[in-house]
Structure 1
Amino acid sequence: MITVLVRVTHGPEALAATLSALVPAVAEGLVGDAVILTDKQDDTLMKVADAAGATLVVAERGSWMEGARAARRDWLLCLDDGDIPQEGWIRVLDRFVALSKPEQGLARMRRRRAGVARALTNLFADVKVRAGDLVHRRVLLNEVRARMPVRLSATIERDPVFG
């Protein structure tokens, strides 16, 4: 099982879109819990988190590290609100988690319609954790240094309403 960390920048509607896309993974037993990261206290986000059974963490700029501290699982899927994993992602992530050691530490989902500039950035990307990454908690807590990211065949898209 994994924990999903969702960084909120677009508000409760974008958060709800991402959380609803995770329901099949909860039913399949891949996602065990979710942590919602926001940079300020918000009653509406608190209600959405409560309804989803998620933990709301107020952290500077939605810090992945603060999310890792609140997570219940070792493998963490980092998403931005409005991110929608595409068909087949559950199987791909489940297999990676089952077969990988913490030292591997980092796997990256592909972004559809990323554009040329984004594609070049992804090609020469460093090991900095970003939305769309599956990362071991020990990497986020700086206990283990991640190797270069493994490219997963799973794809993630932004909901067009939220850019």
Structure 2
Amino acid sequence: MISALIHVARPADPEAIERLADTLSALVAGVAAGLVADAVIVSARACDALETIADASGATLVQSGPAGPWRAAAQMARHDWVLCLEAGDLPREGWIRSVDRFVGTARPEVILARLRRPHAGIGDRLAARIERLLGARNPRAGDLVRRDSLLAGSGFSPRQRPRAMSAGLERT
């Protein structure tokens, strides 16, 4: 089982709240399949709309700290693997099988896998290619990460090469 971490960059924006609802709805299939056990919503500041959505969905709401949103959310996650998402990310068909297989077969030294994000801008795609070669210092949205590695420090040490996953994300 995994925990889903969902970052909301601009919680005061009504569109961001709708994107969060879309992401949570897309995760329901993972909950039904027994893959996603809990969700943690993380934002720089809380607002009434976030509190309402977190309460209605059973998710935990946390504020990001100086170490960043993923680490703050990972502290509240309940499972060994966490899936980092931005509000508006929608896992594509087949993601449940792909993530479940990866989590079930990953060796202990593997701490990072990355879902494909074809909607990402050219800068993000270039950075992802460089990270495949040189390794990643920090997780990004679309990463499946061992929770312990997020809690251990301010980044991956040494740099971790993300394993490419066959599943991908769409964006609303």
Fold similarity call, TM over 0.5: yes
Q: Secondary structure at the match of 2:19?
A: helix
The corresponding residue for 1:140 is 150
d(CA) in 2 for partners of 1:90, 1:112 = 18
**TM-aligned CA deviation for residue 116 of structure 1:** 4.2
Question: CA, structure 1 residues 85+58, in 2 after alignment: closer, same or farther (shift >3 Å)?
Answer: same
The corresponding residue for 1:35 is 40
d(CA) in 2 for partners of 1:152, 1:25 = 16
Among candidates 55, 79, 90, match of residue 85 of structure 2: 79
The corresponding residue for 2:63 is 58
Residues 103-118 of structure 1 aligned to structure 2 (within 5 Å)? 103-118=109-124
CA contact (8 A) 1:38 1:60 kept: no
CA contact (8 A) 1:107 1:152 kept: yes
Q: Secondary structure at the match of 1:60?
A: coil
CA RMSD of aligned residues (A): 1.8
The corresponding residue for 1:17 is 22
**TM-aligned CA deviation for residue 115 of structure 1:** 4.9
CA contact (8 A) 1:5 1:78 kept: yes
Count of aligned residue pairs for this structure pair: 159
**Percent of counterpart pairs with the same letter?**
49
**TM-aligned CA deviation for residue 14 of structure 1:** 1.1
Q: Which stretch shows the higher mean deviation, 61-70 or 139-148?
A: 139-148
CA contact (8 A) 1:5 1:36 kept: yes
**TM-aligned CA deviation for residue 157 of structure 1:** 1.4
Q: Deviations over 1:37-67 (max 9, x none)?
A: 0111211101101111100001237611111
Question: CA, structure 1 residues 102+67, in 2 after alignment: closer, same or farther (shift >3 Å)?
Answer: farther
Structure 1 unaligned regions, length at least 5: none
Task: Note if 1:6 corresponds to 2:11.
Answer: no
